[in-house]
Amino acid sequence: MSLDVAAEKLTKDGLIRYLMSDENAPVFLDRLDFYMDMDQPMAHYYINSSHNTYLSGRQFGGRSSVEMYRQVLLAGCRCVELDCWDGRGDDEEPIITHGKAMSRRLRSVQWDAMMLQDVIYALRDTAFVTSDYPVVLSFENHCCKAQQYKMAKYCNDILGDLLLKEPLPDSQLEPGVPLPSPNSLKRKILIKNKRLKPDVEKRELELFLQGQFIIEDEEKEDASAPVLAKKDDAPEVVDIPVVGDGVEAPVQTHHTGSTTNVHPWLSSMVNYAQPIKFQGFDEAEQKNIHHNMSSFAETAGLGYLKSQAIEFVNYNKRQMSRIYPKGTRADSSNYMPQVFWNAGCQMVSLNFQTSDLPMQLNQGKFEYNGNCGYLLKPDFMRRADRSFDPFAESPVDGVIAAQCSVQVIAGQFLSDKKVGTYVEVDMYGLPTDTIRKEFRTRLVPANGLNPVYNEEPFLFRKVVLPDLAVLRFGVYDDNSRLLGQRILPLDGLQAGYRHISLRTEANFPMSLPMLFCNIELKIYVPDGFEEVFGSIPGSTVYSCAPGHDKRSGVFSHVSVSDFMAALSDPRAFLSAQEKRAQQMKAMGIEETDISTKDIVGGEDGDNKKSKVGGKPNQPGASQEPKKGEVSSV
């Protein structure tokens, strides 16, 4: 670094080098290294998770590839999905492929398939290159017992000691016993697959080990055959658009659930990730079995968030949940993960092959903590004695609300073409903290090399929960084409003048493009208290003029008088569910994305008592999930 020793000052060149160096990074560098406590139960962490990992493109007509497993694991993913079906031919080897679809028009689609054995080898070779923390293999198992035996054999023989076949001595599979920690499961692979009842597994496993287990003739499932809907449950006939190469995109898919006819050897390999059919939050609390987990389609998950948000958070303090994209996402698009992170859902599974905004948020979030695939949830989302509403609009007990100001000053090397550029700055977090498509610089024409914006600061006036909030910088040309982006979690963000290196749409680092910004972070001070705080030596606060706050009225602070008015005249106010629906809409989630049709325990969480001493819901859902919305897959 250049110094003027005599004057004890930095030279101009020295200042420029410092501003563009790692020492002046927009985030504290220790946040990019391992810094979190990794000795908490697994349910206390967000886990980087993939959906339909084998696909490299669309859900239908897209190619399957073993290479996708290598790529997602090297990118830090810790939960991958394997859709296993019976292989045909002389060898009858289990295969991985997409499986059945509820559309007769898809019979002509040539489904790619790959040998399970090849995938297991790829998993062994790449599971612990990027991270030593545990990997979960989420099996969607449609194989007959004979081929399930091969599944178990490949896992046992190829993975060897990497496979966790027995529970740890201090984390037995008993009610009330917390899950083990990521540290205690380092370099271990866990299998998530349906498990037999203990007495059945014990009896059949003894017969198998003695060579006396007999597999009766089974009907093999054909992965390429469409599901035949029941007469009274026939899907509505709709026009299905052609998506290329003559392949028609189905509007709705319907996958058969994983088989419950499990081979005892494979069943015995399942321990800390035992999927079960979801029966309601109260029943799960009463059973208190931490190693049981359930999967929810995004629509069902949103339905539970809309109706029982606090109960969902409490469930995730104890045991794991997995969210997966709804069946209509034939183009492999992704849902917004933030709303499920707000509820503490651990495995928010996304289509890694699609570089859209949700995937960028996912990759930006999991860059922290050494890109190890595990992020510790905030304290109040882990402790049983704390209550947290993911739709809260007022500060959480013990958490100080923040204020964030971002001034976009200039850009460097944004494009090698003579194009106009502009910058958008968004925030994602709790619904009340989320501000999208409101802050945008002016367009600087015909200058992609070094545009100067010098905008007035964009003020995010009140960030209720900084721990869950992220900033997104998006740079666009005059045709609204993305030139670069960057996701920066507020937890760990550094104030001051910073050069922010940009990433590609797929979140790969770009060597030259960057933004020069001034970031200010302060404690949030309500209107009317600025003078009090301003009189404290060394304190500075923002004052927001009336009408300057760009937030929608939906997110305005609720006063005591408002609360009392709501009690005296409830009809004059939105119900909790309606309000949550509006909050989710502000995050980009439409009402049509939310399904409450098959919600188990339909009583509104706001009208129930808290977890301690609360009244149990009355189960009122059908025994079979509809269209894969809530499953134990």
Residue 377, classified by CB atoms within 10 Å of its CB into exposed (0-12), middle (13-18) or buried (19+), is: buried
Collapsing DSSP to helix, strand or coil, 4 comes out as strand
Query: Does residue 98 have an active-site annotation?
Result: yes
Q: Which residues of 275-291 are buried (b: 16+ CB within 10 A; e: fewer)?
A: bbbbbbbbebbeeebbb
Collapsing DSSP to helix, strand or coil, 493 comes out as strand
With residue 374 as reference, give the H or E element that holds it. Answer: strand 374-376
Compute CA 604 distance to the chain's CA centroid, rounded to the nearest angstrom. 24
Structure tokens at 406: 């971002």
Catalytic residue selected from 44, 51, 142, 290: 51
- Tokens 């029941």 belong to residue: 230
Cα–Cα distance, 343 to 407 (Å, whole number): 31
* φ and ψ of 85, to 5 deg: -130, 160
37: how many CB neighbours lie within 10 A of its CB?
11
Q: Name 275's bridge partners.
A: 293
The answer to whether 445 touches 478, Cβ cutoff 8 Å, is yes
Encoded amino acid at 98, one letter: H
Structure tokens at 420: 């106009």
Cα–Cα distance, 285 to 176 (Å, whole number): 10
Encoded amino acid at 626, one letter: K
Cα–Cα distance, 471 to 460 (Å, whole number): 10
Catalytic residue selected from 44, 98, 142, 291: 98
With CA atoms as reference, report the closest residue to 45 among 129, 127, 136, 111.
136
- Find the length of the chain: 633
Half-sphere exposure of 76 (CA within 13 A, CB side): 19
Encoded amino acid at 583, one letter: Q
Q: Which residues contact 30 (CB under 8 A, 6 or more apart)?
A: none
The CA distances from residue 18 to 174, 498, 503, in Å, are 56, 10, 21
The DSSP letter of residue 381 is G
The catalytic site residues sit at: 51, 98
